[in-house]
Amino acid sequence: MTDIVEKVAQCNWDLITRDLHEKGYAVIPGWLTVKQCEELILEYDGSTAYRKTVNMKRHRFGFGEYKYYDYPLPDIVQAIRQSVYPRLAPIANLWMKVLKTGTVFPATHKELLSLCHGNAQEKPTALILKYGKGGYNTLHRDLYGDVFFPMQAALFLNEPGEEYEGGEFVLTEQVPRAQSKAIVLRPQKGDMLIFTTNFRPEKGSRGYYRVHMKHGVSEVTWGERHTLGIIFHDALN
């Protein structure tokens, strides 16, 4: 827990904030150690920390599998949720202000969860995803209910080019009256990616408008790819 809090404090939040405002995502390199990545992968098949397993093909979400963690969350997952959220809440509140949504997010993650639970969103949303050869994830948004935080994080647990090929992280950006833009990222093992869950503001000639975004994963052509997903709000089910 202390290690994670220190890592959060050491991040360049001015740069991260700028990237989130300008692009809707920010990459923080080398955030997890190799040991932490490997421990999370090893726990995938041997841990009882999960509440639900989802076969992506069965639900037409793609091809692969993911597992939702149950409460109490593993220490590392809990620490990331609790310590990263307060850094993102001011950014999210600025987005809500310029877009005139009337939404104000609380300063602490505990208070955000209270809002979720008051809306019957009581299931934890942190998850770990596993893709083998041919695996992919269709473009989507992780909303889970009426109460949702507009940013989330993904932590990459395998090294591209060494442990898998393909499997790029894909973001699409849709602006009004224009074709979608694709953004393809290839984070390294241990990197953290923070990105918008649903939309980000963009300033136009008549004020701010919403740039809607989705995310997914391209097809894995070789090896295995694991990702830890940190979603800050809870789910209805």
* pLDDT of res. 175: 79
Q: What is the reported pTM?
A: 0.95
- The one-digit pLDDT tens for each residue of the chain (237 residues) are 668 889 999 999 999 999 999 999 999 999 999 999 999 999 998 778 999 999 999 999 999 999 999 999 999 999 999 999 999 999 999 999 999 999 999 999 999 999 999 999 999 999 999 999 999 999 999 999 999 999 999 999 999 999 999 999 999 998 777 788 999 999 999 999 999 999 999 998 889 999 999 999 999 999 999 999 999 999 997
Q: How far is Cα 231 from Cα 125, in angstroms, rounded to an integer?
A: 6
Delimit the domains of the chain by residue range: 2-231
* pLDDT of res. 1: 64
- Count the Cβ atoms, other than its own, within 10 Å of residue 180: 12
Q: Coil, strand or helix: which one is 97?
A: helix
Tell the burial category of 209 from Cβ atoms under 10 Å away from its Cβ (0-12, 13-18, 19+): middle
At 20, list the tokens: 């989130």
- CATH number corresponding to 2-231: 2.60.120.620
Tell the burial category of 75 from Cβ atoms under 10 Å away from its Cβ (0-12, 13-18, 19+): exposed
Helices and strands, counts by H and E, the chain:
5, 15
* pLDDT of res. 46: 76
